[in-house]
A and B are shown apart, each in its own frame.
Chain A
C-alpha cells in the first residue's frame, strides 16, 4: 500500500509585511515557528542587528533573547 502521506509544505522562508494609510498606534507582531528576534528585526527594520530594539521593548516577556516561542506577541518599537 503506497504511503499517501505527503511531506509537510515548508513555509519557513515566508516573508511578510504590512502598511497602512492610517497612522500607527504602535505595532505588534506574533511569533510564528522558525522566528528569532534577528529574523523579526530583519522583517521590520531591514537589519537583523536591530534585534536588541525589540528585546529591550519586550524584556518583560523575553527571559532569554535566544528563546522565543510561537504565539508570543511583541511590541515593535518605531517600525
Chain B
C-alpha cells in the first residue's frame, strides 16, 4: 500500500512538473498582445528653416543665402518631422521698419518628414534693406531667418 502511495505521488509530481511548462505556454500569448499595440506616433516638430532663391521638387531651398537682389523671388523652406492630423504653419515676412510685407499660412496633415515652402515676389522691385521671416506653428513661434535685399 505504501509503495502504491509512493507511485501515485511520484506520478502526481511528474504530472505537476510536466504541467508547469504547459501553464507557461498558455501565458505566452500575452507578450504578443503587447507587440500588437500601435507604435508610438512621432511627435511633430520643426527642423531646418532655410532661405534662398529657389526650391527643388522636394520643396527644399536649393541654394541657401541671406542676400538677395531687388528682383528676386525669396523662398523659405520649413522641414518638419512627425505625424499630426492638422498643423498650421505660418510665415510672416517683415521689413526693417516693422511693416508686414506678407503673411500666409498653410494647414497640413503631416505624415512623417515633410517640407513646406513659402515664397514672395514683388513685380516692382524690393525696397533695399533688412527683412525677416518668422515661422510659426499653430500660433507658436518656431524660428526665424534674417536676410537682406541689396
> Chain B: interface secondary structure?
strand
In Å, the complex CA distance between A29 and B103 comes to 8
Nearest opposing residue in chain B for A44, CB measure: B104
- Distance (Å) between the CB of B88 and the closest chain A CB? 7
Contact at B115–A20, with CB atoms within 8 Å? yes
CA distance A24 to B89 in the complex (A): 11
Contact of B42 with A by CB under 8 A: no
A-B contacts counted at CB < 8 A amount to 103
Contact of B117 with A18 in the complex, beta carbons under 8 Å: yes
Interface residues on A, range: 20 to 34
CB–CB B111/A23 < 8 A:
yes
Q: A8-B97, A21-B59, A28-B106 are in contact. List 10 more A-B contacts (CB 8 A).
A: A11-B100, A14-B122, A16-B93, A17-B119, A18-B117, A18-B118, A19-B116, A21-B116, A22-B111, A33-B100
Residues in chain A near residue B114, CB distance under 8 A = 20-22
Could you tell me the distance between the alpha carbons of A24 and B111 in the complex, rounded to whole angstroms? 11
